[in-house]
Structure 1
Amino acid sequence: MQISAFTAGLNTFQSAVQRTERAAADIAQAALPHSSSTRDSADLATSMVQLDIGTLQAQAGAKLLQTADDVLGTLLDTHA
């Protein structure tokens, strides 16, 4: 099975979106009035970190897609 750079970039980006959505939902849940325990504060910190990781992961996926597109363009220019 061959995995292209486009597939890897797309999978990375989709994974980042899912991670970010989960983290955002957890943060929103922690903001509700009933959540005031210490455990919720720790969960909130973890969710904030996951949100940052998701952002970086999305940027990496986008960069991978851009690089794959540039390489494909170069290959097409070279063979044309």
Structure 2
Amino acid sequence: MEISGSAFNSGLNAIQAGQRRVDQAATEIASNTLPQAPVETPPAQQVNPSPSGAANTQADLAESLVALNVGKTEVQAGAKVVETADEVLGTLIDTRA
């Protein structure tokens, strides 16, 4: 019985960790894609005016999308662990009954 409980806990922990990852990635994606008010910087204070800021934002967005997919896969794997533990427990109960 302890093995099954451990499997349920592992599956639940994976689901919760995946959900946290999805939530964080979704927040990062939303903050990167929402229009923001432009900040005017005087030319004298510009260190290196280049389009690298847009590339940096695209890299951040790509990383967030990857994290979103990793979280989704983590939730699916955790759900499969819980499902399998449920099937094993059902088999054990059928065997003992």
Q: Same fold (TM over 0.5)?
A: yes
**Partner of 1:21 in structure 2?**
23
Identity of aligned residues (%): 48
**Partner of 2:75 in structure 1?**
58
Q: How many residues align?
A: 79
Task: Please say if 1:78 is aligned against 2:95.
Answer: yes
**After TM superposition, where is structure 1 displaced by more than 6 Å over at least 4 residues in a row?**
none
**Partner of 1:12 in structure 2?**
14
Aligned counterpart for 2:57 among listed residues 40, 55, 58: 40
Deviations along 1:3-25, whole A, 9 cap, x unmatched? 70000000000000000000000
Residue 62 of structure 1, CA deviation: 0.2
Q: Which sections of structure 1, spanning at least 5 residues, go unmatched?
A: none
**Partner of 1:68 in structure 2?**
85
Q: Which sections of structure 2, spanning at least 5 residues, go unmatched?
A: 39-52
Quote the Cα distance in structure 1 between the aligned partners of 2:34 and 2:26: 13
Deviations along 1:4-57, whole A, 9 cap, x unmatched? 000000000000000000000000001122396221110000000000111111
